[in-house]
Structure 1
């Protein structure tokens, strides 16, 4: 009876043989990606070590075959192929790919990297992701995205029949109500920020106008902090009809540091916004006080480079906590307040367009504070009032 044919990139049963005292050999039949089956062997000072050395050699041969993926490919090897796949590299930003690499190196590969693809089951992925979600739900979501992309690629290469990540669902978090500030609350907060900057009513020296200037531009445009700090004077038109063009954002890349990314988070984020009067006044004043820099940034750092969003965010959060006292207000509340006011006074579609969203779903779910409107049942409920009036009469 002939031996069963091995799949490409797979090997048969490993045998161990002691060939001399303290020297062992491990052997196995291996079918390479040309279809040829050959003996592969490795040595060690024990049978177990010889087998481990052989497995290391066999897996290295599979991994060196480039994008040839089989059920015997390790998750680590699959990750390398996936990171080089054009479907990823041509559709994701450098920042996104860097985040995926961090997820792989810090979470996915330490937990699953040594498994063969054929050994990765739905339950194994489910346990890993749920354990990660208990401590860091956001990181678990990224890890699921990474694993899903990797195993989609493995299915495309016929290495496995189905994607074990597809049926894994992360625990849902209770939806927090959207918190937005009213016009009066914004007015009070701006006054608090002004006093905090001037050093009146709050401990500390005069702090300059930078903090409130950025807040005012956010309130006048709905921009993210990283978008405001990426503004160049080329993006600002303070003519008869003042406008601002949102054309980029600041990102941090490990190998390149802080840089301006010359496109927005999404295609719909590239937009021109008409500026309200108070934002125009801020920008006019800054244009007069401007000192030319290489970046041409509207809000440069003291050294004339791009201002770090995290540093600004930290300063703003500290100021807000000092003013408000409880730390309830986050820097992102200004963007939500813009969306909520526009939705109330104009339309949800207008709010989505100003924020740079491609549709209204994200705007409605995450940015607009609004109670759900119940159906008008007043005519029916008036019957209670009529019965009361008849008795009173």
Structure 2
């Protein structure tokens, strides 16, 4: 990054920002996607502080941080207003930066420690029915030639393991152990945290068919890449291309509504819990750091409450 100049609105905090982003990328192992979001949020924060006349972390007050949260929520700083979810992400970024600055000795106080994001309404994750998953898998298999085997294997892995899209496209051949008595995949989640997840028979069969009959054909166009999922040029399949695979499979399979990799992850968790799985087991399978994150899948909708009441209470039936 170039040396800060007087005309640069981020200049007072640019050195500290570069240092913190390097820490996130190297020591915390954040993905490029997450790192880009942090960089965007913190540059906006640095500009906000500079416009308020702050020239260092020691001058920043709790009121400054709270005002920034309100500014990004409403767009009062001249930027785009952020959704509640994005505002929460921005608060996490700011709190992390101030905590880091305190630990590194840039300041003796942490003005962001008590600042919290605005309250957000919890939404139930979107899951699709098992019948819709079957349609999606059928649609994936309709792709032409070797791509049909690849697309089927990708969808089976996403639904059969609950993997994040970054974890699925990040799979290496050495991470796949489907010949053992208990087939499994080694996934690397947020912060490169490793976990081993079991793989069911359908995903195993789809992976075997792809690895034996399709991947070698795709690999001929590349340069000996070790990624499991390859594109037509023999290079690792990107996140964007994996999204496109799902969209095309949904269209061919006649699955309505918005289908994303997270839709399959949500469906995986929802169907496990509906089948009687313990929430802490699902937490481990999904790679959630806290069971609180997983517990959103146990929320009951008002419609479900009414249906259960109408079907079960003796005074509800007329």
TM-score by length of 1: 0.60
Distance of 2:28 and 2:89 partners within structure 1: 16
8 Å Cα contact 2:20-2:100 kept in structure 1 = yes
Matches within 5 A, 1:289-328: 289=213, 290-291=215-216, 292=219, 294-320=224-250, 327-328=257-258
| Structure 2 CA distance for partners of 1:191 and 1:129, relative to 1, 3 Å | same
8 Å Cα contact 1:357-1:363 kept in structure 2 = yes
| Structure 2 CA distance for partners of 1:242 and 1:280, relative to 1, 3 Å | farther
**Higher RCO structure (Cα 8 Å, ≥6 apart):** 2
**Is structure 2 residue 265 aligned with structure 1 residue 335?**
yes
1:126 corresponding residue in structure 2: 66
Distance of 2:150 and 2:186 partners within structure 1: 20
Matches within 5 A, 1:203-222: 208-222=148-162
Distance of 2:107 and 2:198 partners within structure 1: 53
SS in 1 for 2:185: strand
Distance of 1:75 and 1:309 partners within structure 2: 33
User: Going by fraction, where is helix more abundant, 1 or 2?
Assistant: 2
**Is structure 2 residue 175 aligned with structure 1 residue 228?**
no
8 Å Cα contact 2:164-2:261 kept in structure 1 = no
1:324-370 CA deviation, whole Å, 9 max, x = no partner? Answer: 575333331111111112222232222222222344321222x5565
1:18 corresponding residue in structure 2: none
Give the deviation of 1:309 after TM superposition: 1.0
Give the deviation of 1:279 after TM superposition: 1.0
Distance of 2:166 and 2:86 partners within structure 1: 21
8 Å Cα contact 2:230-2:237 kept in structure 1 = yes
2:3 corresponding residue in structure 1: none
Distance of 1:270 and 1:288 partners within structure 2: 26
Distance of 1:219 and 1:87 partners within structure 2: 30
Give the deviation of 1:161 after TM superposition: 5.9
| Structure 2 CA distance for partners of 1:147 and 1:188, relative to 1, 3 Å | closer
Distance of 1:81 and 1:275 partners within structure 2: 40
1:103 corresponding residue in structure 2: 41
Computing the radius of gyration from Cα coordinates, the structure with the larger value is 1
RMSD of aligned Cα (Å): 3.8
2:132 is matched with which residue: 180, 185, 190?
185
Matches within 5 A, 1:24-43: none
Give the deviation of 1:81 after TM superposition: 5.3
1:3-38 CA deviation, whole Å, 9 max, x = no partner? Answer: xxxxxxxxxxxxxxxxxxxxxxxxxxxxxxxxxxxx
Distance of 2:102 and 2:134 partners within structure 1: 56
8 Å Cα contact 1:342-1:350 kept in structure 2 = no
8 Å Cα contact 1:122-1:164 kept in structure 2 = yes
8 Å Cα contact 2:246-2:261 kept in structure 1 = yes
1:347 corresponding residue in structure 2: 278
Distance of 1:88 and 1:299 partners within structure 2: 25
Matches within 5 A, 1:14-25: none
8 Å Cα contact 1:179-1:369 kept in structure 2 = no
8 Å Cα contact 1:180-1:369 kept in structure 2 = no
SS in 2 for 1:212: helix
2:55 corresponding residue in structure 1: 116
Distance of 1:206 and 1:235 partners within structure 2: 22
User: Going by fraction, where is strand more abundant, 1 or 2?
Assistant: 1
SS in 2 for 1:272: strand
* Structure 2 unaligned blocks of 5 or more: 1-5, 75-80
